[in-house]
Chains A and B, each alone.
Chain A
């Protein structure tokens, strides 16, 4: 099979790692970054020091600061830019994104204000229809170091899943498939909020029991919201759901976990983010989760309190006490689709 032409938009940790994977598989890979100096470093030295990754990029990876150059001739486009810059990049790329393109994104977040998922932004800004998302327990540092890992390529289009598999799968990375883009996107975005809670629990030294309690309730709330929005509940028990939640809540490499640790230590959110030096998607996702819960009429006590810690000054200990003070209902609530009443049904 002939090599693919792959365009990776975004040269952060994850974008660089994905480009390296595609390049290592022999695919002609263009890595787009806004930063011409960063592109030059990739092309001349085969490194991308800004990301903190220590990998050496394969010769098949060529970086560029031109979207036109990155997208010319590409069959598969992988977008890995921060959620709050996603729309801007898609709007800029739309001039060269065409109907034949298959596009997946690896961005775990929701747009602030609109709460749009990244696939919705692609639909709104570009002509591309064959869309998908890539997500899972994938710490960029581990994947780029060649440690074994698995991910999910979600798309209702078999061609898209097939292209992602060709581009990324290797003896070190298993690529599982799913059709549930909505579920995978929500898991990827909302687990970051739970990771902040886990970071707080670690720093507050409230014990492993409490941490497991918070993570599990977070998972249940995530499932409840996802189901109300139309996601498949089984997605939550897969790699993009529980898998990603496990890694992001237990690894001290997780950015969101680190934000939780900093807040529990008494730092302000601004200071925590400044110290991090990178985007922590959970900080935005908590706002979106709260709004979505309101729209869907579902209760998310944990998410609500994490959001209040992040944006309303609630102390993490107070948040935990409030959670412990709630009435304990059914452990795993039955999921009830919001079935249209007979008044709403056409006939």
Chain B
């Protein structure tokens, strides 16, 4: 293990500010480049747009004052003044983004985390609730041989907590992680997150200078050997499906980070490690799928149910996990280099024949390391596709998602011409399906998943065994009954009643792309 703390934002801020400012100024001098006055105009315009939707006070008040100052100073500003303005804008963004890691806070937090989690999980053993699976040793080896960019699927706000525990439990040094600025608005949470190695990402800021500063910040961290974690899905999956399209911004910093690291003579590679999080129940499932359907459906869909308040839901959620001995699966995929090659046990990139290759060659032309944004974008696109494939393959099929799939698809077969919203309305409230039929469907699905798993194309939880569909269905029904305001699906004699069609759809979607389905009109 190389580093016991996260690089402090203040330590790299000068490099970030200089890097972005010099690049922008140099670009403005190239033929066809944007003049600096346009760059500052863009900041004023995009920030004014953003701030119009922000409430008064706090950070927004300060931002408004800054934008007003820029607007006042811009007319007639000379080149040197424009350069100074760009530097100030970048510096302001860099300060906002910077993490402030505190080893003391980290030490306290990591000591407290297992106990706190155990308490949340009803006093049980954390290791039985959070299963660390997959290429765990390869992840450890990658972290020992170089720098790791860990990229999990994003299901729940609990993901940060779960990943923090996983990193701690694996004995890895702390990771810098990119967290939404909104999470920092709570002073206590912001203090801890900042001091645990988080840096901020504000999805509302569209100023190109902000995006350049954020990317430069991540580039410098990775180039200096800082392990990092972020959710390339960008936000929690609303539909419940595994994300298929990734936001490539931060991922796109890796080739340049590796190039700088090689240029500085640092040893060790830079590795991308996909990771999947699979929950038998999702804390925020109801609100997430409601949001998804609201966006999809427009006038088709009207949300009817309110949700319980958060503390009660948290309590119910963790109580449910503990009572039924349910586990969250954290599954690590095989590490790859920044162009998607696998790596061997020594951290070397290997070609399709397993021969070690020099990854430096991907970043050179005529033998020299050269910057090439189009090249890096193409590498990143391919790595993004590989991550999406790994996420799909490594998401663990659980009884809840398999039962939800069986129920939803059975309903669809019965109404083949219905669109999604008609299907959901047809299922709720209280549609009933034959238990024996559903068990037979589950048996077929488990057989299919088992076949896929045998060739490494799917993962199954141990509760899903061929020949034991009835047990799997009972297990899923019990799980659905523990936490949600209504039990999602409920057994009534030899029938299964649908009590929350939206959640059936949500849990079903986790297996989208793995199992066959008929087309449905949206």
Contact = CB atoms under 8 A, between A and B. Distances in A.
Contact of B509 (A100, A158, A343): A343
Contacts of A129: 339, 362, 378-379, 382
Interface string B441-457: 00000000000000000
Instruction: Give the bracket for the number of chain A residues in contact with chain B.
Output: 20 to 34
Given A129-B339, A344-B241, A94 B375 contact: no
A68 interface: no
Interface of A: 75, 91, 94-95, 98-101, 124-127, 129-130, 156-159, 341-347
Nearest to B382: A129
29 contacts: A91-B353, A94-B351, A94-B352, A95-B353, A98-B357, A98-B358, A98-B361, A99-B360, A99-B361, A99-B362, A100-B361, A100-B364, A101-B361, A124-B352, A125-B352, A129-B379, A156-B378, A159-B375, A341-B519, A343-B420, A343-B509, A343-B517, A344-B244, A345-B239, A346-B238, A346-B239, A346-B243, A347-B235, A347-B239
Interface of B: 233, 235, 237-239, 241-245, 292, 296, 339, 341, 351-353, 355, 357-362, 364-367, 372, 374-375, 377-379, 382, 420, 509, 512-513, 517, 519-522
Nearest to B292: A347
Given A75-B366, A100-B364, A341-B522, A158 B372 contact: yes
B410 to A, nearest CB: 15
Given A100-B362, A124-B352, A347-B235, 9 more contacts: A75-B366, A100-B364, A127-B341, A127-B357, A129-B362, A129-B379, A156-B374, A346-B233, A346-B238
Contact of B512 (A100, A124, A157, A343): A343
Closest 10 CB pairs of A and B: A99-B361, A347-B238, A100-B361, A342-B522, A127-B351, A346-B241, A347-B239, A341-B522, A156-B378, A99-B362
B144 to A, nearest CB: 23
Main secondary structure of the interface of A (DSSP, over half): loop
Given A98-B358, A157-B378, A342 B420 contact: yes
A341 B379 CA distance: 28
Contacts of B512: 343-344, 346
A347 B352 contact: no
B366 A345 contact: no
Nearest to B522: A342
Contact of A341 (B339, B359, B364, B520): B520
> Which has the most chain B C-beta neighbours within 10 Å: A125, A127, A158, A346?
A346
Indicate the member of A127, A157, A341 with the most B CB atoms within 10 Å. Answer: A127
Contacts of A125: 352-353
Given A341-B420, A345-B241, A346-B239, A99 B509 contact: no
A169 to B, nearest CB: 19
A126 B367 CA distance: 19
Contacts of A100: 361-362, 364-365, 367
Contacts of B341: 127
A346 B420 contact: no
